[in-house]
Each structure stands twice: as C-alpha cells, then as structure tokens.
Structure 1
Amino acid sequence: MKKFCIAVLLLGLGSLLGSQSVYADPKEDTQASIDQLQERLHQLNDEISVTVVQQEEQEQAIQDLNQSMTTQEQKVADMTEKLAQLEKEIQARVRAIQLKDADQKASLFQLDGWSKTLSALKGVESVRKTDDARAKEYTELVEKITKQQKLLEKKQQDYQAAQQLLQATIEKQTNSKEQLEQELKDNEELLAQIQEEERQQELALKAEQEVLWQQVILGQSLSTNEEVGDKAQAIILSAKQYIGVPYVWGGTSPNGFDCSGLMQWVFAQNGVSLPRVSQAQQAAVKEIPISEVQPGDLVFWGRPAHHVALYIGDGYFIQAPQPGDVVKITHSSYYPFESAGRVLY
C-alpha cells in the first residue's frame, strides 16, 4: 500500500541519494511497517465481522432448534397421552374378554400387568379378534413414539452442538478484538501517521472526486470517457448515499456497515444478490485482471479476501474501511486493491 505523500517523500529522497544508496531507507521501513499494520488491522476487523455474522446465524439456529425441540416435545407428549388412553381402552377390552371366558376366570388380568398380558400370544390374539383396529393402532403408536423420541434426542444433540459452536465463535471473536486492541495500542504513532496521510490525500483529491461524481451521473468514466452501464451507475449512486455511515462490525444496514455488508446492501437495492461475507463474495464473482476493472466491479484485498470495496472509476472505490471510520471514497494510490471481480455482465 503506497501512500501518496510517502511516495513523494521517497521519490525526493531517492533523487538525493542517487544510485549510490546502499543502506535501507528509513522511510521505506516506515512504509513497510504501515503496510503490514494496515494488513493486520483489516484481517482482524474481517475476522471480527465474520464471527459477528456467524454469531447471529448461530443464535438464530439455536432459536430455531429450541422451537423445534419444543414442538417435538409436545408431539411426543401428545402421542404418549394418546397411548395411555389407548392402553386403558385395551386393558378394559382384555378384561371384558377374560370375564367372558370361563376357563380364564381364575387368571384375571392384574391392573398393573397389562403390558405383560399384551405380550402374551393368547391375550394379543383375543384383543385382535375383538378389536383388531385398536390393537393395530396401539402397535403403530408405540413405533411412532419411539421414532419421535429418537428425533427429539437428535434435536437435543444438535442444540448442544450449536451451543458449543456459538461459544467457540464468541471466544474467537473476543480473541480477535483483544489482538486488535493490542495492535492499536502498540502502534499509536503509526496509526496517527496513517490517519494524517489519509486526511491529506482526501483533501488533495476532493476536487477530483467531485468531477468524478459528475462524470458518473453522466454515465462516463473520468479518464477514459468509457460509458458506465446503467446498472453500474445505479449501484454506484446508491452507494454514494451511504457515504458517512459509520463502520460497524457485522453491519448490514444504513445504521452501520462493514465492508461486505455495504456491498451486499447496495447491490441488493438494485436487484443483485451477493453472499454475506467478503470471502464468499470473492468466490461468487467472475475474477478479472486488475487492468480490466470497470465501474461497478468489486475489488478485493487478500485471498481469501479480508476486505472488499466497490470500484467507481479512475482508481477510486467506495469502502467501509474499519471501526472508527465511515463509508468513504478512497483512491487506489493510497490503498491498492489486489484483485477484482465482475458482478454485472
């Protein structure tokens, strides 16, 4: 990542030293440190955003599993109650049959021995002869309860696994936040330098950005006069509405966006569906050479991607950068993207 003002300083210093330079340039070391820091910060922010999204999905899955378990428990309870009623009816029927059988009067069924009686061949045959439908219903109901009970046990296991996965996700998110806080604490001076460089570049390029917007509205790219497609133009102008919206980990609405949440939102506003996170967005689009990038394409950092933005023409892109910042326009001379992908054909 080559910052504009740093590049100028390096150029000036290089011309003074000429070809005789032997030692590493301190400015180059500083720039390398800035690049590495920015990379780590974006990776950590992406990890946090991804785990926030995962946490939301897992919490919803747990809620759905809980509801499903409640439904399943009620189903088992209803079937068990129906079975109990059927057992009473069968028991009464068996006793009635026995009372009619003079040879069996001495062995009347005990009230608490109905299950053993039903398992005896003579008793079952008697029930089937007198009420085959009821006996069949009893057998099928027992099988259904057994099946439903196993289903309930599986749901309970899934619920426990989902709870464990959620806990692991929260722990990962906590660790990433702690690492991020430590990086910020350890690199206060570099961060201040990055912020100042970015502020200076934004001021220097502000007038050019205004011209760029006018060209986009006219459907043209600033430097090439190449036409900007209607869909790309609509998406870019949609994204422009959210400049100034704060960065929020896992954010997917105008209340706050993360990088991929912003992309998903503005494309969805124009009838184009994108996956939720930057890695999935990178995998979903058609990769193109950076030299062929056009307004409306997505640009990425990392493979798999840990950051994504919307290319709007002439080296500019709209991004949701990081916590403490807002949706903004940035030039690739300040933060060069590493790959690009086409969504619109």
Structure 2
Amino acid sequence: MKKGYIVLMIALTFFCFSLETHADPKDETQQTIVQLQDRLSQLNDDISTSVVQQEEQEQQIKTLDQEIIEQEKKVADMTGKLTQLEQEIQERVKAIQLTDANQKAAFFKVDGWSKMLSSIKGIEKVQKADADRAKEYTELVEAITKQQKALEKKKQEYQAAQDLLKTTIEKQTASKVELEKELAENQELLVLIQEEERQQELALKAQQEVVLQRVVSGQNFTTDFATDEEVSQKAQEIILSAKQYLGVPYVWGGTTPAGFDCSGLMQWVFAQNGIGIPRVSQAQQASVKEIPISEVQPGDLVFWGRPAHHVALYIGDGYFIQAPQPGDVVKITHNSWYPFESAGRVLVNE
C-alpha cells in the first residue's frame, strides 16, 4: 500500500511538472508583461517620489539659508551694540578714575569737600547709570551666546539638509539608470505592450465613452468591479474633473495640468473638488479607508503594491483614469490590462 502511494505521488509530481513546462505561451507573455509593468511602475514611482523629496528639501535649504542670514545679522547687530557698550563703560571708568583723583586732591579743601557732599544725589544717579550699564552688558553677552548657539544649530541643520538632498539625488539617479536598463533590455516586449495597449484602447474606446456617459448621468453600474449603487454627485464631479486632463503628459513629480505623475494627478483632481489628500501614492494609500476590490465603486482610488507604487481613479466597469509613465499621457485603462491590487475610499461620508 505504501509503495503504491509513493508511485502515485511521483506520477502526480511528474504530471504537475509537465503542466508547468507546457504552460500557455500567451499566459506566460501576459504574466511577463504585468511583471514588467510593475517594475517600470515601481521605478517611476521611486523617481517621482525622489523628485517630490528633492523639491521639499531644496525649499527647506532655501528657508534655512535665509534663516541663517537673518541669524547672522542678529548676532552681528548685537555684537556691534556690545562693542559700543564696552567703549561707553571704558570711557566711564576713565571718567571715574579722573573724578576720584580730583576728589582726593580737593579733600583737603573745605570748599571742595563741601561741594562733594552737596552733590550726593548726583553721585547716586551716576552710580545707578553705571549699574544699569553693567547689567545691560551682562545680559547682552548672554543673549549673544544664545544667538550664536542658535546660529550653529541652524548651520548644522543646513548641512544635514544638504547631505540628505545629495542622497536623494543619488537615489534618483540610480533609479533612472535602472529604468533605462529595464527599457533597453525589454525593447521587444515594450513594443508588444504598446501595440496591445493601442489595440485595446481602440477596441474599448466606445465602451469607455459609455462608462463616462453613465458617470455624467449617475446611472447604476452592474459589473464585477462596481456596486449597484448610483454614482454619487461628488464622485461624478471628481471623475469629470479627471476627464479634463486626459492627454496631459506624464511628468516625474508633476502636480499641475502642465504634467502629472500618478499621485500628483489624484491630489490635483481631489483638490479641485475641495478635498485634500496626501502628495505621494504611499501616503494616499495609508490615508484612505481600505475596501475589498469587490466593493470598489466610481470615485475610489485603486493601488498597485503595498506600500503603493502606483495609484489611479476608478470610474466604473473595471476602468480607471491614470497617469501611467514617462512618454505616455493621462488615459483611461481597463483593469484586465493592468490589474490593480487594492482599493481605498476617499468619499467615506458620501
């Protein structure tokens, strides 16, 4: 019985191996295409994210630079004031020394002694003024020391920001090199992808228009990738806003109609409708309410990767609007061509 079981297991193993080695070439090609799309999307997201970080870091450096200039001016002004006060104190010391000498000389003169006693209030005022100068001097020295420490801290922050910017640019350059390598090594497959995508766009163009018309009218969706609920008014407005930017070129780090990256498009479209969402895809994914893919509906965000390296706006019937990659434009794509992996709801209260 045991021998028969072993024979059966070997036969099943051989059968499974045979199935794997004789897989459908079309399925293998599609799988390879999806894997390549995923790698390219990841690299483009790395570059876009680093562009966003670079802009933020450059702005931080610019701000720190201005703060350092202002801090240096503050220290210089206070140091100048301290120098002036030192001169005043030195002159006062000299004056006191001369007065003391005169008072000693006049001590033996009755009229001089008499005048000195009669001006006692004047002497008290002089002493008070000297005490005020001494106090001001001490406080000024302490203030300058404090401001110099603050200046040194700003300079350290500035250097750290410069180092971080250098690292970001190096990472961005490495991602671009890797992207160019992927593109160079997959030329034939990329041509195939572009042609298949073009054919799909032509075949589904009419259906895309039907989907958009449903959005405009708020009609129901009854497919595998949408609920039976009506499209909310807010979702319609957001989708119609996104539709305006079809054809806008993809730009790394792009956040305006002059050019968008994937998350920049989402942030812009939602902002146009009074809704703020984070800047990059990873943060957008973390900020929304995650929902099962089976419950995705128009107006939701759909994501690739965890943390996300790509994001798009779901519009119904398996379609989404996305900013794909450099050399491409904002377009409508079907889930069957590039399946999204998760979904999130921004319009939770709709």
Is the Cα contact below 8 Å between 2:221 and 2:230 reproduced in 1?
no
Instruction: Measure how far apart 1:21 and its partner are.
Output: 4.9
Instruction: Measure how far apart 1:206 and its partner are.
Output: 0.7
Instruction: Measure how far apart 1:132 and its partner are.
Output: 1.3
Instruction: Select which of 21, 24, 41 maps to 1:23.
Output: 21
Instruction: Measure how far apart 1:128 and its partner are.
Output: 6.0
1:321 equivalenced with 2:319 (yes/no): no
What is aligned with 1:151? 150
Instruction: Measure how far apart 1:95 and its partner are.
Output: 1.2
What is aligned with 1:98? 97
What is aligned with 2:6? none
Instruction: Measure how far apart 1:129 and its partner are.
Output: 5.2
Q: TM-score, normalised by structure 2?
A: 0.84
Is the Cα contact below 8 Å between 1:294 and 1:312 reproduced in 2?
yes
SS of match in other structure, 2:21: coil
What is the identity, as a one-letter code, of the residue corresponding to 2:98?
Answer: L
SS of match in other structure, 1:226: coil
Q: TM-score, normalised by structure 1?
A: 0.85
**For residues 180 and 199 of structure 1, what CA distance do their matches in structure 2 show?**
22
Map of 1:162-241 to 2, 5 A cutoff? 162-223=161-222, 226-241=229-244
What is aligned with 1:131? 130
SS of match in other structure, 2:211: helix
CA-based RMSD: 1.8
What is the identity, as a one-letter code, of the residue corresponding to 2:45?
Answer: D
**For residues 239 and 198 of structure 1, what CA distance do their matches in structure 2 show?**
21
Q: 1:34 to 1:76 in 2, by over 3 A?
A: same
Instruction: Measure how far apart 1:333 and its partner are.
Output: 1.0
SS of match in other structure, 2:308: coil
Instruction: Select which of 300, 304, 309 maps to 1:301.
Output: 304
Is the Cα contact below 8 Å between 2:245 and 2:330 reproduced in 1?
yes
**For residues 128 and 196 of structure 1, what CA distance do their matches in structure 2 show?**
94
What is aligned with 1:32? 31
**For residues 228 and 55 of structure 1, what CA distance do their matches in structure 2 show?**
38
Paired residues in the alignment total 306
**For residues 211 and 130 of structure 1, what CA distance do their matches in structure 2 show?**
88
Per-residue CA deviation, residues 148-168 of structure 1 (Å, 9 max, x unaligned), is 001001101111111111011
**For residues 74 and 96 of structure 1, what CA distance do their matches in structure 2 show?**
33
Is the Cα contact below 8 Å between 1:221 and 1:313 reproduced in 2?
no
**For residues 294 and 67 of structure 1, what CA distance do their matches in structure 2 show?**
48
What is aligned with 1:243? 246
Q: 1:292 to 1:87 in 2, by over 3 A?
A: same
Instruction: Measure how far apart 1:97 and its partner are.
Output: 1.1
Instruction: Measure how far apart 1:52 and its partner are.
Output: 0.2
User: Could you tell which deviates more after superposition, 42-51 or 190-199?
Assistant: 190-199
**For residues 171 and 191 of structure 2, what CA distance do their matches in structure 1 show?**
28
What is the identity, as a one-letter code, of the residue corresponding to 1:95?
Answer: K
**Sequence identity, in percent?**
75
Per-residue CA deviation, residues 215-263 of structure 1 (Å, 9 max, x unaligned), is 1110124436631111111000000000000000000000000000000
Instruction: Measure how far apart 1:33 and its partner are.
Output: 1.8
Q: Which runs of 5+ in 2 are unaligned?
A: 1-17, 105-125
What is the identity, as a one-letter code, of the residue corresponding to 2:240?
Answer: L
**For residues 187 and 214 of structure 1, what CA distance do their matches in structure 2 show?**
38
**For residues 196 and 222 of structure 1, what CA distance do their matches in structure 2 show?**
29
- Greater radius of gyration (CA): 2
What is aligned with 2:341? 338
What is aligned with 2:276? 273
**For residues 274 and 316 of structure 1, what CA distance do their matches in structure 2 show?**
22
**For residues 93 and 153 of structure 1, what CA distance do their matches in structure 2 show?**
34
**For residues 24 and 32 of structure 1, what CA distance do their matches in structure 2 show?**
15
What is aligned with 1:261? 264
**For residues 252 and 127 of structure 2, what CA distance do their matches in structure 1 show?**
66
Q: 1:66 to 1:22 in 2, by over 3 A?
A: closer
Instruction: Measure how far apart 1:35 and its partner are.
Output: 1.8
SS of match in other structure, 2:136: helix
Q: 1:334 to 1:128 in 2, by over 3 A?
A: farther
